[in-house]
Amino acid sequence: MGQDIDPSVSIVIVNFNGAKFLQSCLEAVWQCDYLDFEVIVVDNGSTDSSCDLLRHVEEQRSNLKIIFLPENLGPSAARNYGARAAKGRYLAFVDNDTRPQPGWLTSAIKTLSEDTRRGACQCKLLLEDTDGIIDCIGEYLGQNGFLVQAAIAGQERDVGQHDQVKSILAAKSAAMVVTREAFVAAGGFDDDYFIYLEDTDLCWRIWLSGFQVITVPTSVVHHHSGTSSIIIPDRINFLVKYYGCRNYVLTILKNAGPGLLFRLLPTHIMLWIGLAVYHASRGQVRSAQWILQALFWIGSHPRIVFAKRKKAQSVRRVSDKAFIPSVLRHRPFGYYLAKTSPARAIGNTLGWDKGR
């Protein structure tokens, strides 16, 4: 099919020391039944065998572009590098530990193209090596600023209960498709996020710029869980606590209108402080310290925060009232308290880690 029938798509994959998963991801991507696409792999300064693998594959695939970065700049900056090199009218972001089904891209593009207001979509992420257990089908905004999962990650079996196209606040970049128009209008990913919430921040700005973010449950992608803990075990706790906290607060400060900001921010910050106290009371001093360091960074960099808010608000074409009611979900305090249970992985504490 020509480009006039099937709009061209650029599939962007960020890799950091993911040689164990990258080969199967690329093989699955090339089994895609969508004909007009290119693949861009951005390597984030890998020190394993990833670079050799990519150079070998590059010799065999004409539609593969590789960008080698000298150091790990984080997923946000790396995806922006990929987007700048992309030629597609659509940008499909998938993680290197995913295995898309052959029809994932066709379903996503078809659904997005049915309405010009649709700017981004969440593919249905299923946990790899499970019998249809859902990893992510999108996320809503909770009444306290934390994300509310559209499906209970790692616990809910996919039996068609989420098979309707719905509006969500944000998609996970482990498997999301964005129109280039919406991506540019929103300003792309924020390079400074490094990791965590960068996709939520982008999707919130896509809403602000007048586009919608939806789920496409017929676009199915399988996802390994917890690979970050394998690749960077010595840093994962710091990344989750520090960047999870900092980027959560920053996302609200950047994107919420004045009224919503007043409603969300005080409670949101108090809950982070409460989580720090909780960790300290259990002897997890470093975890508490990283959360407080993140809050201190926000408070000690008002010029940076204000500049980021000004930039985010400059893309606004609609009021919060135009979309927040459709993506806001109220949950009892017990919903969030359950996520802080010692029995659960701390990376899933308040909904910010999906095992990336």
Instruction: Report whether pLDDT(348) > 70.
Output: no
Query: For residue 336, what pLDDT is reported?
Result: 65
pLDDT digits (tens, 9 = 90+) for 13-44: 999 999 999 999 999 999 999 989 999 999 99
Query: For residue 7, what pLDDT is reported?
Result: 61
Summarize the confidence of residues 153-158 as an average pLDDT.
86
Three-state SS at 89 = coil
Distance CA 12, CA 94 (A): 6
- Of 63 and 307, the one with more pLDDT: 307
What are the respective helix, strand and coil percentages of the chain, to the nearest 5? 45, 20, 35
Instruction: Report whether pLDDT(65) > 80.
Output: yes
Query: For residue 146, what pLDDT is reported?
Result: 95
- Where would I find the H helices in 30-73? 50-58
Query: For residue 131, what pLDDT is reported?
Result: 87
Query: For residue 168, what pLDDT is reported?
Result: 98
- Where would I find the H helices in the chain? 19-29, 50-58, 74-85, 104-113, 180-186, 198-208, 227-231, 236-238, 244-255, 258-281, 285-300, 302-313, 324-327, 333-339
Domains and CATH numbers, the chain: 9-230 (3.90.550.10), 233-348 (no CATH)
CB of 194 closer than 8 Å to CB of 72 = no
Query: For residue 342, what pLDDT is reported?
Result: 41
Query: For residue 332, what pLDDT is reported?
Result: 81
Distance CA 259, CA 272 (A): 21
Query: For residue 266, what pLDDT is reported?
Result: 97
Instruction: Report whether pLDDT(230) > 90.
Output: no
Distance CA 190, CA 2 (A): 33
Confidence class of residue 54 from pLDDT cuts 50, 70 and 90?
very high
Query: For residue 335, what pLDDT is reported?
Result: 67
Residue with structure tokens 């996802």? 223
Measured from the Cβ of residue 23, the count of other Cβ atoms closer than 10 Å reads: 16
pLDDT digits (tens, 9 = 90+) for 188-220: 999 999 999 999 999 999 999 999 999 999 999
Mean pLDDT score across all residues of the chain? 90
Instruction: Report whether pLDDT(133) > 70.
Output: yes
Instruction: Report whether pLDDT(314) > 70.
Output: yes
